[in-house]
């Protein structure tokens, strides 16, 4: 049907301000979004239709944003089989923060319109173009350098980074799949600085934040 659910006044307000078209709006507080003529229901009724463990006091149904055509003009983040909604939502928000307008996901990555993803984006879903594609086909067709984040790649802090590039991050448990690794032009890692070197890995959203920060720091100087 091309619809998605957003919960909470802050997220809903951001989506309103982004100009998204609304289909339905339910509130437990009659003063919330009064100018939008919401349907006022009880807290108990709101809890029944909420996707959250602790329901907020407003739920809205919006039309899904029309996707833009993929381009090779700027920095692009690519996700290979990310499964956790919180991770995807955070990564979408990170893309928004660092000015990355395009996020490309494998077809087995969690749906960006999953209610938990929407909640984690805090409205950034309206400013980042998220597409789902066959990653092998997409990466084989690009002329941009492809940087893949690994545990055993080259030190990110010692690399000359391209302004127009693709950054690939992989599944929370298994990392980037072998077929994608074969396509990579650059394999990079965030080095561990701890004395014991015991930390197994970084959360994928945390790794995304560090990599984007370093790319932007380097190419914007």
Helices and strands (H, E) in the chain, number of each type: 7, 10
pTM check: above 0.75: yes
pLDDT computed for residue 170 by the predictor = 96
Domain presence at residue 142: yes
Strand order of the sheet with strand 186-189?
129-133, 102-106, 76-80, 166-170, 146-155, 186-189
Q: Is residue 71 part of a domain?
A: no
Q: 133 in a domain, yes or no?
A: yes
The per-residue pLDDT for 196 is 65
**Structural domain contains residue 156:** yes
Both 154 and 85 in a single domain?
Answer: yes
pLDDT at residue 147, as a whole number: 98
Same domain? For 17 and 108 the reply is no
Does residue 58 share a domain with residue 81? no
> Could you tell me the two tokens for 164?
């127009």
Question: Which helix (H) or strand (E) element contains residue 155?
Answer: strand 146-155
Q: Are residue 97 and residue 158 in the same domain, yes or no?
A: yes
Which of 132, 1, 2 lies closest to 65, judged by CA? 2
Q: In CATH, what number is assigned to the domain containing residue 43?
A: 3.30.1330.30
CATH number reported for the structural domain that contains residue 196 in this entry: 3.40.1280.10
The reply to whether 115 falls in a domain is: yes
pLDDT at 216: 93
Please give the pLDDT value at position 148. 97
Residue 207 has a pLDDT of 96
How many domains does the chain contain in total? Answer: 2
Q: Does residue 208 share a domain with residue 110?
A: yes
Both 15 and 98 in one domain: the answer is: no
What pLDDT does 208 receive?
A: 97
Based on the domain organization, do 122 and 173 belong to the same domain? yes
Residue 12 lies in domain: 3-63
Confidence at residue 66, expressed as pLDDT on a 0 to 100 scale: 86
Would you write out the chain's pLDDT as a tens digit for each of its 221 residues? 699 999 999 999 999 999 999 999 999 999 999 999 999 999 999 999 999 888 889 999 999 988 888 888 889 999 999 999 999 999 999 999 999 999 999 999 999 999 999 999 999 999 999 999 999 999 999 999 999 999 889 999 999 999 999 999 999 999 999 999 999 999 999 998 877 666 677 899 999 999 999 999 987 65
Within a domain: 212: yes
Indicate whether 129 and 98 sit together in one domain.
yes
């Amino acid at each position: 049907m091309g619809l998605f659910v957003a919960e909470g006044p802050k997220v809903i307000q951001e989506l309103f301000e982004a100009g998204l078209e609304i289909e339905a709006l339910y509130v437990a507080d009659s003063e919330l979004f009064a100018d939008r003529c919401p349907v006022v229901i009880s807290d108990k009724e709101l809890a029944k239709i909420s996707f959250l463990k602790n329901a907020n006091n407003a739920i809205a149904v919006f039309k899904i944003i029309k996707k833009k055509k993929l381009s090779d003009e700027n920095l692009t983040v690519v996700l290979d089989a990310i499964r956790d909604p919180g991770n995807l939502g955070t990564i979408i928000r990170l893309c928004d923060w660092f000015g990355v307008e395009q996020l490309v996901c494998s077809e087995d990555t969690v749906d960006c319109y999953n209610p938990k993803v929407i909640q984690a984006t805090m409205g950034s879903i309206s400013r980042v173009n998220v597409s789902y594609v066959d990653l092998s086909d997409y990466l084989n067709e690009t002329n941009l350098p492809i940087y893949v984040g690994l545990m055993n790649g080259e030190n990110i802090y010692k690399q000359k980074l391209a302004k127009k590039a693709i950054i690939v991050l992989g599944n929370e448990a298994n990392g980037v799949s072998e077929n994608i690794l074969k396509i990579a032009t650059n394999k990079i890692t965030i080095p561990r600085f701890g004395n014991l070197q015991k930390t197994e890995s970084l959360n994928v959203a945390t790794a995304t934040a560090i990599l984007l920060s370093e790319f932007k720091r380097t190419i914007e100087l």
